[in-house]
Amino acid sequence: MSTGRSRVLAVLALSLGALTLASAALLLVWNVAPARFPAGAHDLLGALPLALVAFAALAYQVSRPYGWRDLVKTGLLAAAFLFWAANQLWPSYGGALLFNDLAIVLFVLDVVFVIVGWPAAPPGPEGG
């Protein structure tokens, strides 16, 4: 990947990360003063940081040198966040419980992959 494209994706990841933090802060503000928000705002406020962090993680991963295993693992994590976001956004939808359960399974799988060391970290300057 070209350095220019990598830089653009890195800036996109950082920008999405900042938007994610801002949307998460807004969610906390809702908890302090829910009456200041329109009815039903919590569904969107709960889903937004989850969806944004999914896209931030993907942009970050694609902005740096990666192997296909790293991209698969990041995609798995992003999918987990997106299923969780869907569950938050549409809690009364008939498939919301399935969205939630898929998110749980994908998050558990992600942690198990970390525990078993997949994908293996490339050797680094610290002797790894």
**DSSP codes of every residue in 88-123:** HH-TTSTTHHHHHHHHHHHHHHHHHHHHHT-SPPPP
Specify the number of domains making up the chain.
1
Question: Residue 108 sits in which domain range?
Answer: 3-116
Read off the pLDDT of residues 82-121 as tens digits, 9 standing for 90 and up: 999 999 999 999 999 999 999 999 999 999 999 999 888 7
Task: Assess if residue 36 is contained within a domain.
Answer: yes
Is there a domain that residue 92 lies in?
yes
Does 121 reside within a domain?
A: no
Contact, 62 vs 71, CB < 8 A?
Answer: yes
pLDDT in tens, 24-56: 999 999 999 999 999 999 999 999 999 999 999
Tell me whether residue 21 is in a domain.
yes
For 93: left if phi > 0, alpha if psi spans -120 to 50, otherwise beta; the answer is beta
Residue 122 has pLDDT above 70, yes or no: no
> For the whole model, what pTM was predicted?
0.87
End-to-end CA distance of the chain: 25
Residue 50 lies in a domain: yes
User: For residue 122, is it within any domain?
Assistant: no
